[in-house]
């Protein structure tokens, strides 16, 4: 059973760190204000406002910043600034021994799937949820509130309306997943997570449908679908297509592979690159119920 970092309490200190794409000071202002409003003290890591091409500073700087926050026992959570790309470039340079002495919440999604999976592989829960860059996005209040509840250890449960491709059933298992492209990119690395007996969640953005299919084939060929307890499919936002259309939507593609097996599957789950992006605790045992009335996910403990 993965280790749960301590819940935040008012007065705690949290850090915002850029592990991937660069952000400006202005882009962090709303997050600082909101986190402060939650009673937290906010530290901006040296990666915030740092720049190296697309990245929030060179690899060395981003790794050093995150390392410092991991090592500092007074920092009780790390909120990732933004996704994009760059986390896998630094992940093997990190030393989690300080973190292991004082586990803390780390939150993010998209490129941060790399950290979520790496932490789960090491035996720790982490949060797949909205990042500092989009704390003030229009329509994102519920997502932000779900992140707050997850950080402060308050109970959460989520529901989604029925979807015609849903496959009914009940599953109990630890949550694992995130961005499909990142999951592919972690295959066979030190950050790769087993999925057997777990509830896998998937989302992606701006992917060619052909490539969604290719990545599903990859997931399936590595045995990652076969032994799932259940599957949650979030947003596949802004799909791209070829001159000759692929002929299936992203959900239809996923259905093709999911129906080889018998686990329950829920589509249109509110996770991914849209304002409805509920915080999911990676590694937490959850109960998924998919039925005619829709989908319900709650933690099993």
Smallest distance, a copy of itself to C-beta of residue 172, A: 27
For residue 207, the surrounding DSSP H or E stretch is: none
Smallest distance, a copy of itself to C-beta of residue 125, A: 23
- Segment lying near a copy of itself (by CB under 8 A), choices 94-102, 163-171, 212-220, 268-276: 212-220
Stretch 52-91: interaction string toward a copy of itself, x if CB under 8 A: -xx------------------------------x--xx--
Given 11, 244, 260, 292, the residue binding a copy of itself (CB under 8 A) = 244
User: Contact between 263 and a copy of itself (CB under 8 A)?
Assistant: no
Q: Where are the alpha helices (DSSP H) in 72-227?
A: 87-90, 97-101, 113-122, 141-151, 180-186, 209-221
Given 36, 242, 262, 293, the residue binding a copy of itself (CB under 8 A) = 242
Is 273 among the residues known to form the active site? Answer: yes
∠ CA(77), CA(81), CA(84), 5° rounding?
130
Pick 246 or 267: Cβ nearer a copy of itself? 246
User: Contact between 196 and a copy of itself (CB under 8 A)?
Assistant: no
Q: For residues 91 and 245, what is the distance between their CA atoms, to the nearest angstrom?
A: 37
Is 97 among the residues known to form the active site? Answer: no
Name the active-site residue from 47, 110, 143, 268: 110
Q: For residues 277 and 144, what is the distance between their CA atoms, to the nearest angstrom?
A: 8
User: Contact between 292 and a copy of itself (CB under 8 A)?
Assistant: no
Backbone angles phi, psi at 132, to 5 degrees: -50, -40
Nearest CA among 277, 193, 275, 260 for reference residue 220: 260
User: Contact between 249 and a copy of itself (CB under 8 A)?
Assistant: no
User: Contact between 218 and a copy of itself (CB under 8 A)?
Assistant: yes
Question: What residues form DSSP beta bridges with 124?
Answer: 3
User: Contact between 136 and a copy of itself (CB under 8 A)?
Assistant: no
Smallest distance, a copy of itself to C-beta of residue 267, A: 21
Given 139, 247, 260, 292, the residue binding a copy of itself (CB under 8 A) = 247
Q: The tokens 């090592």 sit on which residue?
A: 71
Query: Helix, strand, or coil here: 228?
Result: coil
User: Contact between 222 and a copy of itself (CB under 8 A)?
Assistant: yes
User: Contact between 184 and a copy of itself (CB under 8 A)?
Assistant: yes
Nearest CA among 115, 104, 53 for reference residue 81: 115
Nearest CA among 267, 197, 195, 283 for reference residue 234: 267
Strands 199-205 and 169-179: parallel
With beta carbons less than 8 A apart as the criterion, state whether 229 and 254 touch. Answer: no
Smallest distance, a copy of itself to C-beta of residue 121, A: 13
Considering only residues 91 to 120 of the shown chain, the ones binding a copy of itself according to CB under 8 A are: 92
Buried b (16+ CB within 10 A) or exposed e, 224-233: bbeebbbbbb
User: What is the token pair recorded at 155?
Assistant: 């109970």
With beta carbons less than 8 A apart as the criterion, state whether 207 and 240 touch. Answer: yes
Pick 165 or 210: Cβ nearer a copy of itself? 210
Smallest distance, a copy of itself to C-beta of residue 223, A: 9
Binding residues for a copy of itself, per CB under 8 A? 22, 53-54, 85, 88-89, 92, 184-192, 210, 213-215, 217-218, 221-222, 242, 244-248
Catalytic center residues? 110, 203, 273
């Amino acid at each position: 059973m993965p280790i749960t970092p301590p819940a935040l309490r008012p007065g705690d200190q949290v850090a915002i760190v850029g592990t991937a794409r660069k952000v400006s000071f202005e882009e962090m202002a709303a997050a600082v204000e909101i986190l402060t409003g939650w009673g937290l003290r906010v530290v901006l890591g040296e990666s915030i406002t740092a720049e190296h091409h697309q990245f929030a500073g060179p690899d060395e700087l981003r790794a050093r910043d995150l390392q410092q926050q991991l090592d500092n026992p007074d920092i009780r959570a790390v909120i990732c600034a933004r996704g994009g790309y760059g986390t896998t470039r630094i992940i093997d340079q990190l030393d989690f021994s300080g973190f292991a002495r004082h586990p803390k919440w780390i939150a993010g999604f998209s490129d941060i799937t790399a950290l979520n999976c790496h932490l789960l592989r090491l035996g720790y829960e982490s949060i797949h949820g909205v990042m500092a860059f989009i704390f003030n996005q229009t329509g994102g209040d519920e997502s932000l509130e779900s992140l707050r509840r997850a950080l402060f250890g308050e109970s959460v449960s989520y529901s989604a309306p029925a979807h015609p491709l849903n496959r009914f059933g009940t599953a109990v298992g630890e949550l694992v997943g995130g961005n499909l492209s990142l999951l592919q990119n972690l295959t066979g690395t030190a950050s790769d997570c087993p999925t057997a007996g777990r509830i896998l969640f998937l989302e992606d953005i701006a992917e060619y449908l052909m490539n969604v299919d290719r990545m599903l084939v990859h997931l399936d060929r590595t045995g990652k679908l076969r032994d799932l307890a259940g599957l949650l499919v979030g947003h596949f936002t802004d799909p791209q297509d070829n001159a000759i259309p692929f002929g299936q939507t992203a959900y239809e593609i996923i259905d093709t592979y999911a129906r080889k097996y018998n686990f329950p599957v829920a589509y249109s789950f509110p996770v991914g690159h849209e304002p409805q992006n509920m915080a999911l605790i990676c590694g937490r045992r959850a109960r998924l119920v998919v039925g005619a009335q829709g989908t319900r996910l709650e933690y099993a403990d």
